[in-house]
Amino acid sequence: MAGSLIKIDEEIVTSAVASVSLLGIDSTYDVYMVSYVGLRASTGADVNIRVTKSGTAQSDSEYDRAYKQLRSDTTFGNSSATNQTSIQIGYSGGNNETYENNNTLYLFNFPTAEYSFMTIESVRSDPSAPTIVGDTGGGVHTVGSASDGVSILLSSGNITAGQFVLYGLKKA
**Is residue 114 pLDDT above 70, yes or no?**
yes
Q: What is the pLDDT of residues 120-172, one digit of tens each?
A: 999 887 666 777 888 999 999 999 999 999 999 999 999 999 999 999 998 76
Query: Comparing C-alpha atoms, which of 125, 57, 109 is closest to residue 87?
Result: 57
Name the DSSP class of 17: B
Q: How many CA atoms lie within 13 A of 60 on its CB side?
A: 10
Q: In whole angstroms, what is the distance from residue 133 CA to residue 13 CA?
A: 23
Transcribe 77-137 into DSSP letters: EEEEEEEESSEEEEEEE-S-TT-EEEEEEEEESTTSSS-EEEEEEEEEEETTTTEEEEEEE
With 60 as the cut, is the pLDDT of residue 1 above it?
no
Alpha-carbon dihedral sign for residues 34, 38, 41, 45: positive
pTM: 0.92
Beta bridge partners of 37: 163
pLDDT digits (tens, 9 = 90+) for 88-106: 998 876 666 667 788 999 9
Other CB atoms within 10 A of residue 158 CB: 18
Question: What is the rounded distance in angstroms from the CA atom of residue 169 to the CA atom of residue 151?
Answer: 19
Region for residue 3 given its phi and psi (left: phi exceeds 0; alpha: psi -120 to 50; beta: otherwise)? left
Domain ranges for the chain: 27-169
Q: What is the pLDDT of residues 4-62, one digit of tens each?
A: 999 999 999 999 999 999 999 999 999 999 999 989 888 888 899 999 999 999 999 99
